[in-house]
Amino acid sequence: QIVTAGGLVAQALKTDRSRRTIKLPPSVAGLLREAERAQKAERARRVLKGKPWDDRGYVFTTREGKPMD
């Protein structure tokens, strides 16, 4: 959720029914797996160099692991 005055704010879902599962075409699932591999490699490089990584489980992040807004 983006809050006008404060930027990006992560909040819990209002109800359990708010969570959704969607079907993705195999091509999209493959692209997401590739993005995950690239992100893991970037995280490993940063950690080896002693640089911070913000690991909150977001799919798309900045080079530091922070959520994109």
Highest mean pLDDT among 6-10, 13-17, 37-41: 37-41
Tell me the DSSP string of 5-20: TTEE-----SSGGG--
Residue 12 is predicted with a pLDDT of 82
**Of 42, 35, 40, which Cα lies nearest the Cα of 63?**
42
Please check whether residue 35 is in contact with residue 60, taking contact to mean a CB–CB distance below 8 angstroms. yes
Q: What pLDDT digit, counting tens, does each position of 23-51 carry?
A: 999 999 999 999 999 999 999 999 999 99
Is the pTM higher than 0.85? The answer reads no
Which alpha helices (DSSP H) does the chain contain, by range?
26-48
Q: How large a percentage of the chain has pLDDT more than 70?
A: 88
- Using alpha carbons only, give the angle 8, 19, 34 rounded to the nearest 5 degrees: 70
